[in-house]
Structure 1
Amino acid sequence: MKKHQRQPKLFLEICQLLLANKLTFVLLALTLGSALAVVQVTHLTRQQLIEQDKLLQKRDELDLEWRYLLVEEEFYSQHARIEEVARTQLQMKRPTSKEEQVIVLP
């Protein structure tokens, strides 16, 4: 005696219908492929945006460091210029330890 199945095997019936109508099967496969491609492209785009944000942050940090270096360079160039003017125009020189005098105040 055969067992009577109350519920048909839905997956098998769908597969049989899709194989019977090949155009529908091709369109379904293309739709699934397109959906997977959209997911992949979205994922890659998000990764690129994250990388871009990191690079922009690094650029801002480097720009800030560059500005600090410019200020530091300006500071040292002024000191060197003052020292050069003192040596050339005023004939000044650094005193040696023998030329130094210590004054003690009571």
Structure 2
Amino acid sequence: MGRLSIVFAALLMLSAISLVTARFQSRQLFVASERMALKARELDIDWRRLQLERAEQARNARIDELARDELKMTTTLPGRTIYLKGVPAASSAAAAGGRP
């Protein structure tokens, strides 16, 4: 009976140690899972911010403003516009020496 008690006591101790180890690992995995979820939320927020920033950068009004302010560009006026007349394709081939 004495040996059987010692064997059961040893098995009980192993079981208790196994339970404590399993709970510790479970807590570590839970903490790691929460960290990854927080990181995923942060990345999602960054992604949305970048999408808004990209939309703002590509906005036509902003591009127009930058062209006027930084590049000193102005809107074209009909009086300042020079129109060039193109040479027809048939006469340009004749001018090039008769090559087709």
Normalised-by-shorter TM-score class: 0.5 to 0.7
Instruction: Say if 1:38 and 1:100 are closer, same or farther in 2 by CA, change over 3 A.
Output: farther
Aligned pair 1:37/2:24, yes or no?
Answer: no
Unaligned runs of 5+ in 2: 74-100
**1:30 shift after superposition:** 1.8
Residue type of the partner of 1:72?
D
- Return structure 1 stretches of 4+ with deviation > 2 angstroms: 81-84, 92-95
- TM value normalised by structure 2: 0.56
Unaligned runs of 5+ in 1: 1-26, 102-106
1:58 and 1:72 map into 2 onto residues whose CA distance is 21
1:81 and 1:30 map into 2 onto residues whose CA distance is 76
Q: How many residues align?
A: 70
1:99 and 1:61 map into 2 onto residues whose CA distance is 47
RMSD: 2.7
Percent identity of equivalent pairs: 9
Aligned pair 1:75/2:49, yes or no?
Answer: yes
